[in-house]
Each structure stands twice: as structure tokens, then as C-alpha cells.
Amino acid sequence: IGAEIGGHSGDAGPVARLLSSVCDNLITHPNVVNASDINELPENGLYVEGSVISRLLMGTVGLQKVRSNKVLLVIDKHQDKFFYESAINAVSAARAALGLDCPATITMEDKVTMRSLFSSSGRAVGRIDNFERVCEVLKENEGEYDAVALSSVINVPENFHKDYYHKDMINPWGGVEAMLTHAISLLFNIPSAHSPMIESRKLLELDIGVTDPRKAAEIVSVTFLHSILKGLHKSPKIFTDPSLDGKSNQITASDISCIVIPTGCIGLPTLAAMEQGIPVIAVEDNHNRMKNSLDDLPFDSNMLIPVKSYLEAVGAMEALKVGVSLESVRRPMKYTKVTEYHQKEASSLDLLKSDLDDSQEDQHKKIS
């Protein structure tokens, strides 16, 4: 959706670190911190795929913290071996430097085809063909892994590469990636993430020059893999059995204190939070393609908290945490609301009922 903060390559990582400083656990979408080969996920950050966040807020799944995951890597058998060998080297590096447990790396001869498209509103979307092939791989290896990392080519017009880096273009790869991971998370209830594989050496060798800092992490990466491997390393387990709720290290919708979104975004997380009575902090400065008016939704009193920036959002979160009413620290402050209460006069029916009750009570005393 072209968010100015977080819509590129892990450029909301500093925001995640800031927000994490005032909460016990920060549940974050992977693309907040995915910066190609960089991932500055906070220590108390939980890396959770987007559709799973939606289901968590709707109350249909819960999360369980883990010490670590066995991460399966599934990659395209690229026609240029340089690219899939680079992916294998990336997972080897994560095993050696991060301590990642990768039980297998599977190269797919029969590839899943992914194509980037744009909707009429300008949002990045896409098309996936032969999705069943990755499903077959996951089913055949079921029980051998806790999470899955995927790396495959996303077909885009060649000019997209330069246009993205030099023009104000929405990230063309993110939409179709979201479609893939949504489907995998829904079907298999496992943490998943995807990194795009470069189509050719020609594109790898493009002279991009100095680019927008928000996109710079992509320029210095070859595989874009390390960010998702690090995120999946400790991504929480997804559980759907209500009987498991309440055990240690588990998080459900009832544990969520608030959500923080860019203003104008109305999706399942926002609607679910409104239904669950979870405060929604909407950040005005994070401009994006979404033009919805949050004020039009039937939020309960004080459940929609508009703020100017993420710096102000941190203050709102801290106020919620310590139980300080936001209006108490804002000016001007409204006068205390006073409502006069007038007792209604008893109707003739109420008086008759009262007389009957008194009569029955007298009869009871006489019998006793």
C-alpha cells in the first residue's frame, strides 16, 4: 500500500525497536523488519505473518513463544546456478552465525510461478500459478520442520527494477509475496516468509547508484534471505485448539493491549480490534494509498486514538500501560460532565403492585 514508513525494505525497523521499549511483547508483521540481509527484530519482538495477525485478533488462533524453530528452506532451481547456490550459502551462513536449525534445503525443479500486478487503486497484488507444487513439498516433509522459508523468482517487467529505486513506486514484490504466505499459513498453520530471487545476473549488475535509504538494503543484497531466516528462527507457534489457551508462553486476543496502524488502513486487524474492544492507535504521518476514514467506524468511546507520529504513539502506549487517561495529558481539557438524575414518579400500576406485595407479606406474618 506504499506506506512511507515500512513500505520498502525493513525501514520500519527503528519504529519496531522504539515501540518494543514500552511493551512486554511486540507482535510485528515480517515486512516491518525484513531488510534483505538485515533484520533488527527487537528482543521482545514476535515475527508473525500478516494473515496470522488477523486470525489472532479475530480470536481464532493463538501464539505460543518458542526457544527456536526448525526452518525448512524451499527454493527455486534457478536456471543460473549462481542464484540457488547463493541461497544455499545464505542458509549456511545463518546456521554458522545465527545458530539456525535448517533440517533441509529443497530445490524445486517444477517451480511455482509468481507474477507482480497492480490493482486499480494502485496497490501491489499478483498472480500465483502451480501453488500446489509447494504444498506437495510441505506435505511430504510434514513433521520435519516448524517453519518454512521460501525463495523464488517473482516476474516483473524489467523497468520495474529501476523505477522502484529511482521513482516513487510502490514495492511491486510485496503483494504477491503476501498472497503466497497467507495461503501457506492458512493451510498449514505454520510460520512462513518469502524472499524474492533475482531473475538474472543482468538485473543483479544494474547500476542503481545511490538510492533512497529506505530501499538501500536491497541494493547491497544478493539473496534477500537472511532477514526471513532470522525472523522465522524464533517465530511463535500457531495453535488453534481453544483447550490450550491459558498455558504458559501463550498469547491470545485477550492479551493484546492495543494495535498500531498507519491512518486510513481498514482491514481485518482493524475491524477485529474494534470488535474485541482493543484500542487502535492510528499514525497520521505514515501516509499510504489507503484513504479510508477510521472516524466512520463505530468504535467504542476512546478506542480510536489518532496520533501524529510514532513518537506520539509510544506515549499513547505508555499511557495505556500505566492506566493514565489520554485526555488527562492533552489540552484543552473538557469540563467534567455532570448529569442530573431525577427519580421517576411511580405509576399507578407500580403502586398497585407494591400494595399487593405488602398485603401478601402481612398474610404471611399472620400464618406464621
The predicted-structure confidence for 251-272, as pLDDT tens digits, reads as follows 999 999 999 999 999 999 999 9
Angle at 105 between CA 97 and CA 90, to 5 degrees: 35
How many Å apart are CA 252 and CA 254, to the nearest integer?
Answer: 5
pLDDT at 257: 98
pLDDT at 140: 97
pLDDT at 231: 98
CB-based burial label for 194 (10 Å; 0-12, 13-18, 19+): buried
Query: pLDDT by residue (tens digit) across 275-325?
Result: 999 999 999 999 998 889 999 999 999 999 999 999 999 999 999 999 999
How many Å apart are CA 134 and CA 113, to the nearest integer?
Answer: 11
Mean of pLDDT over the chain: 92
Residue ranges with strand state E in the chain: 26-28, 45-47, 62-64, 71-76, 105-108, 113-118, 124-129, 147-155, 192-197, 237-239, 250-251, 259-262, 280-283, 304-307
Quote the pTM value.
0.90
CB-based burial label for 336 (10 Å; 0-12, 13-18, 19+): exposed
At 348, the pLDDT band (50, 70, 90 cuts) reads low
- CB count within 10 Å of CB 53 equals 23
- Mean pLDDT (whole number) for 197-204: 93
- CB count within 10 Å of CB 349 equals 8
Cis peptide before 213 (omega within 30 of 0): no
pLDDT at 352: 62
How many Å apart are CA 185 and CA 147, to the nearest integer?
Answer: 10
Contact between 42 and 254 (Cβ < 8 Å): no
The answer, yes or no, to whether residue 155 has pLDDT greater than 90, is yes
Beta-bridged to residue 260, according to DSSP, are: 281
How many Å apart are CA 238 and CA 1, to the nearest integer?
Answer: 26
Query: pLDDT by residue (tens digit) across 44-98?
Result: 999 999 999 999 999 999 999 999 999 999 998 999 999 999 999 999 999 999 9
How many Å apart are CA 251 and CA 238, to the nearest integer?
Answer: 10
Contact between 184 and 114 (Cβ < 8 Å): no
Contact between 31 and 15 (Cβ < 8 Å): no
Query: pLDDT by residue (tens digit) across 133-151?
Result: 999 999 999 999 999 999 9
- CB count within 10 Å of CB 120 equals 6
- Mean pLDDT (whole number) for 165-191: 93
How many Å apart are CA 110 and CA 107, to the nearest integer?
Answer: 9
The answer, yes or no, to whether residue 167 has pLDDT greater than 90, is no
- DSSP state for residue 36 in the 8-state scheme: T
